[in-house]
Amino acid sequence: MTSRLDRNKDWLELAKESRYSAKQLAALCRVSLRQLERYYNNSFGRAPQQWLNEVRLREAKKLLLKGGSVKEATSRLGFKQASHFSRWFKQHTGRPPSEYGARC
């Protein structure tokens, strides 16, 4: 028996629609957060929020490399404040987003 989650083809699009929130992703998939966590652990070997954070970071890097602003990244990636995005980005990459696009 397969899970209805197995039928989802575009997880990246769902990640964007959920604003990178595991709770919202579960709601979009019409399953409980716990069901989504079990599915991700069994299928991908990680928690859904961990996967969402990885996708979010890749999207942030891509956007900044294309010349996008910190403000634009903040809005697109579901952060409420630019300072929160900047702190999160630096925590994951070791440098602030304002320097990322310029040096890469």
Per-residue tens of pLDDT for the chain, all 104 residues: 357 787 777 889 999 999 999 999 999 999 999 999 999 999 889 999 999 999 999 999 999 999 999 999 999 998 999 999 999 999 999 999 988 876 54
Structural domains of the chain, with CATH = 9-103 (1.10.10.60)
Taking the whole predicted model, whether its pTM rises above 0.85 is answered as no
| pLDDT the model gives residue 76 | 92
DSSP assignment of the chain: ---GGGG---HHHHHHHTTT-HHHHHHHHTS-HHHHHHHHHHHHSS-HHHHHHHHHHHHHHHHHHTT--HHHHHHHTT-S-HHHHHHHHHHHHSS-HHHHHHH-
